[in-house]
Structure 1
Amino acid sequence: MNTYSVEEKRSRIRGIIGAASGNLVEWFDFYIYAVFAVYFTHALTAPDMAATTKSIYVWGVFAASFFMRPVGSWLFGRIADRHGRKKSMIISICFMALSSFLFALLPTYEQVGILAPFLLLVVRLLQGLSVGGEYGAVATYMSEIGLKGQRGFFSSFQYVTLSGGQLLASLLSVIMLAFLTHAQLEAGWWRLPFVLGGCAALISLVARRGLEETLSTDESHKEESGSLVELLKKHWKRFLLVVGYTSAGSLAFYTITVYSKTYLTNSIGIPDKIVGYIMTGALFVFMLVQPIFGAWADRIGRRNAMLAFSALLAIAIYPVMAVAMPYFSHNTFVVTGLLILMMLLLSFYTSISGLVKAEMFPSHVRALGVGFSYAMGNALFGGSAPSVALQFKASGLENTFFIYVILMLIICFFCSLAIPKEPEYLDHL
């Protein structure tokens, strides 16, 4: 059993805070796209396009950015496994700052014509590259620096800050809507969140520069460190397993925390200002419960937590999203409670998401393994959730989308059965 001095505990907690603070900013920058998409859609797309077609394009760009994540996870995962987790996280936050400022400067369709939606895609792909590198390095760093026996609790702070980034983005929309009209936001005030995000990213560099490195010199100097060939040749079974449960986890995550905003507004008919309140309240609860579910996973085991996530959410998502929410659409408090219920079930996964991936790979390919498997699952299923849901809606089969989510959760259940009861890696730390 590992024992830690008071100073070592403090050092590790400082490391968690430092990594988490940058993660908060990075994901805030990423999610303001989803929160403010409804306001910049008109400015950056052709005026003669149908409203549904515009939405499909903008959310298609959102999905396309996820296909840059595998590239980002490979690039930054290699840096993290060969040159250190700290260096990788510093470079990724710089990329996010750059892309946020570029987003704020995007010209409108009226100014540059068809070039506007193309530039939207380019800048969003740059954000996808950055976030693709962020997840693997942060998840790896937090799993390595967390105290043994409490790694679920410590690793949960990755999603505390990830959901915190979403919460801040949602809260910012609530504040801006309190002072600005929908028309003013469409006219150009949608740029302000991206300016704020870029500035916050630069500030977070200070916290990350003080991080303690967790990658040992011996591990970094291995010839196969950060090698994609090494990962896919020697650890391909674990890689496919992680892709399997990540695909369903990411699909559920983006359905509940991102698409639900569009669903509540466009499908159920709740005013966007009220939806802003609903999302902000639900995300606040979601953020707070992550450490609770992480500590719970330390007690019941990561595999049992994953089984609970996939089984319970598969049972609940259709009756809650497709039946109960439309039925209670007139009652804001009930809809908020239902959304919180979905987020609580999701928390069985999110609180330990990074850890259950990190425990599957040895140190010299851990950041690459975590990041690349996560990026592949997201590219294939997670980021496409809003776009796919809108395609189902356009075909008159909106509720069928939730059946698609259920099928993926069933796959996740069987993948979770293969998770080792005792992790093979990380125990020596």
Structure 2
Amino acid sequence: MGSFNEGPASEGGLDSPAEGSRAGAMTPPARPVRQLLAASVGNAVEWYDWYTYTFLATYIAAQIFPMGAANSLVPLLSTFAVFAVGFFMRPVGGLLMGAVADRRGRRAALTVTILLMGGSSLLVGLTPTYAAAGILAPVVLVLARLLQGLSVGGEFAASTTFLVESAGPGRRGLFSSFQYVSTTIGQLVASGVAAVLVANLAPATMGSWGWRVPFVLGALLSLVGFWVRRGARETLPQALDSVRAGETPVEKQAKASRPGLFEALRRHPRESLLICGITAGGTLAYYTWTSYLPTYAELNAGVGKADALLAGTLSLTFFALLQPLAGILSDRIGRKPLLLTFGIGFAALIVPLLRSLDDSFVTLLLVQCAGMILLSGFTAVSAAVNAETFPARVRAAGIGFPYSLTVALFGGTAPYVGTLFKDMGHAGLFPVYVAVLCLVSSAVYFRLPETAHGPLER
């Protein structure tokens, strides 16, 4: 945060002493609504593509990983593709695309990530079946999933930085909240498109080619996101200076002083660990409540699958509406009160909330919405808190790698840890696990300096 980033100008990445003298508040670019749309529309498309794969995984498996295939590599590749590849590549994407954002500019990274996601989505949609191409089919699908993970990891690093740097004074929390507004919209659209296709196409049609339609649609939507982002204004001061100078010694000096790939980790190890601590409890709670809770309710409370899916959809809509309200609140009272309310509240209430589940749809919906209110204390402000932790020079890469690594370790494993506890006959230990990690993050929140009302470091 601000107190962690003090130091000489050479470490801050400023191009000259004159530049160092004006370090401090970043001047947000004009057209804030266009900036907000550029980040949000693209992010929604990214997550639409990501979640579409999840919703249609059973159809993909039937075509690409047939049961009883003679080649033993097929089931192995299937397991690897579905459960590991995407999350494995997210930290790599956070590091690489974060470095692009810090070296070439936020807009450059945002255009790369959305084109990468669009291309990988199209690749999924055009993947040949195992019957037609043999082992090549799962190999192509794994490659597409690798690219999707790379894109999603890079998207968070670039869009988080871009959103917060685009905000005017006193609006960083509001702009930050749109990170999860757009993520949730992408998830809801993916779910809706999949549901419409399943409801209107015969099972045989859905299995043969219907499942490919959402991926081709995602590729087309990526072009829309690309067009919106191309019209956005750059927010990285060094990139703006280089563009204005053209091919001059100033540009050459700017290129020479661009940060290295691991500079954020090397020069800011404390801040990198801080991102991990901020994220751990929040990402576990997020994936538990938005992805695993319907399954948990089915396995442990006897809730019907249709009721669980409907409750999940309604609660996600409620969650998206909460984000801007929580973001605005954080701009007024600060980030720490919301983070502590989330961390301590979730730790204290998750066990009674989950124990209160029964086979009632209404009970599940109320429990999910109650958790969403607490969770908003983390999701609405996490982008702002992360961005306020690093100086502009290494902000994207500094956020991208530790955040995505923590998500992979704790958020991505939430459904599997919960299922593992259930299989071991100790389902009640899972909410305790979530509570403990939320308490760990709360200890980090308690020690954070408040940065909501200060300038964003240049």
- TM-score calculated relative to the size of structure 1: 0.88
CA distance in 2, matches of 1:82, 1:119: 31
Pick aligned residue for 1:231 from 243, 264, 280: 264
Deviation of the 1:266 alpha carbon: 5.3
394-403 or 260-269, which deviates more: 260-269
Contact 2:25 2:456 in 1 (8 A): no
SS in structure 2 at match of 1:396: coil
Contact 1:177 1:273 in 2 (8 A): no
234-243 or 88-97, which deviates more: 234-243
1:188-227 aligned at under 5 Å gives the runs 188-217=209-238, 221=254, 223=256, 225-227=258-260
Contact 1:92 1:131 in 2 (8 A): yes
Deviation of the 1:9 alpha carbon: 8.4
CA distance in 1, matches of 2:98, 2:387: 12
**Equivalent position of 1:414 in the other structure:** 443
**Equivalent position of 2:398 in the other structure:** 369
Contact 2:335 2:452 in 1 (8 A): no
**Equivalent position of 2:94 in the other structure:** 73
Deviation of the 1:181 alpha carbon: 5.8
Deviations 1:276-296 (A, max 9, x none): 322221111111110001111
CA distance in 1, matches of 2:26, 2:137: 57
**Equivalent position of 1:136 in the other structure:** 157
Deviations 1:52-73 (A, max 9, x none): xx89965973443112112111
242-251 or 84-93, which deviates more: 242-251
**Equivalent position of 2:193 in the other structure:** 172
* 320 and 179 in structure 1: CA distance in 2 versus 1, 3 angstrom threshold: farther
CA distance in 2, matches of 1:409, 1:214: 33
Pick aligned residue for 1:151 from 172, 183, 187: 172
Deviation of the 1:271 alpha carbon: 4.3
Deviations 1:237-277 (A, max 9, x none): 01101112212211211111122343345555544444332
Give aligned-pair identity as a percent: 38
CA distance in 1, matches of 2:175, 2:54: 28
Structure 1, unaligned runs of 5 or more: none
CA distance in 2, matches of 1:424, 1:299: 8
Amino acid paired to 1:276? L
SS in structure 2 at match of 1:128: helix
Deviations 1:23-65 (A, max 9, x none): 111111111222233443444434259xxxx899659734431
Amino acid paired to 1:381? F
CA distance in 1, matches of 2:290, 2:432: 18
Pick aligned residue for 1:324 from 356, 379, 387: 356
1:20-35 aligned at under 5 Å gives the runs 20-35=40-55
Contact 1:170 1:279 in 2 (8 A): no
Amino acid paired to 2:367? L
Deviations 1:292-324 (A, max 9, x none): 011111122112211111111112222223x22
Deviation of the 1:354 alpha carbon: 0.9
SS in structure 2 at match of 1:156: helix
Pair 1:345-2:345 in alignment:
no
**Equivalent position of 2:251 in the other structure:** none
CA distance in 2, matches of 1:38, 1:165: 20
Pick aligned residue for 1:288 from 306, 315, 321: 321
Deviation of the 1:379 alpha carbon: 1.8
1:6-45 aligned at under 5 Å gives the runs 11-45=31-65
Structure 2, unaligned runs of 5 or more: 1-23, 70-74, 243-253
* 66 and 280 in structure 1: CA distance in 2 versus 1, 3 angstrom threshold: same
* 238 and 207 in structure 1: CA distance in 2 versus 1, 3 angstrom threshold: same
SS in structure 1 at match of 2:56: helix
CA distance in 2, matches of 1:294, 1:55: 43
CA distance in 2, matches of 1:408, 1:333: 28
Pair 1:88-2:120 in alignment:
no
Deviation of the 1:362 alpha carbon: 0.2
SS in structure 2 at match of 1:103: helix
Q: Kindly report the root-mean-square deviation, in angstroms, between the aligned alpha carbons of the 2 structures.
A: 3.0
SS in structure 2 at match of 1:86: helix
Contact 1:306 1:349 in 2 (8 A): yes
165-174 or 268-277, which deviates more: 268-277
Contact 2:173 2:330 in 1 (8 A): yes
Contact 1:106 1:120 in 2 (8 A): yes
SS in structure 2 at match of 1:420: coil
* 205 and 9 in structure 1: CA distance in 2 versus 1, 3 angstrom threshold: closer
* 260 and 379 in structure 1: CA distance in 2 versus 1, 3 angstrom threshold: same
Deviation of the 1:164 alpha carbon: 0.9
10-19 or 161-170, which deviates more: 10-19
CA distance in 2, matches of 1:308, 1:222: 43
Aligned length: 418
CA distance in 1, matches of 2:274, 2:84: 23
Contact 1:226 1:368 in 2 (8 A): no
Amino acid paired to 1:289? L
Deviations 1:97-152 (A, max 9, x none): 01111112234445555555454333212100001110011000111111111210
Contact 2:284 2:410 in 1 (8 A): yes
**Equivalent position of 2:291 in the other structure:** 258
55-64 or 267-276, which deviates more: 55-64
Contact 1:357 1:370 in 2 (8 A): yes
* 46 and 177 in structure 1: CA distance in 2 versus 1, 3 angstrom threshold: closer
CA distance in 1, matches of 2:225, 2:41: 7
* 147 and 393 in structure 1: CA distance in 2 versus 1, 3 angstrom threshold: same
- TM-score calculated relative to the size of structure 2: 0.83
Pick aligned residue for 1:314 from 309, 333, 347: 347
**Equivalent position of 2:338 in the other structure:** 305
CA distance in 2, matches of 1:43, 1:315: 45
SS in structure 2 at match of 1:258: helix
* 344 and 111 in structure 1: CA distance in 2 versus 1, 3 angstrom threshold: farther
Contact 2:81 2:142 in 1 (8 A): no
SS in structure 1 at match of 2:262: helix
Pair 1:384-2:413 in alignment:
yes
CA distance in 2, matches of 1:224, 1:61: 40
56-65 or 246-255, which deviates more: 56-65
* 107 and 388 in structure 1: CA distance in 2 versus 1, 3 angstrom threshold: farther
386-395 or 92-101, which deviates more: 386-395
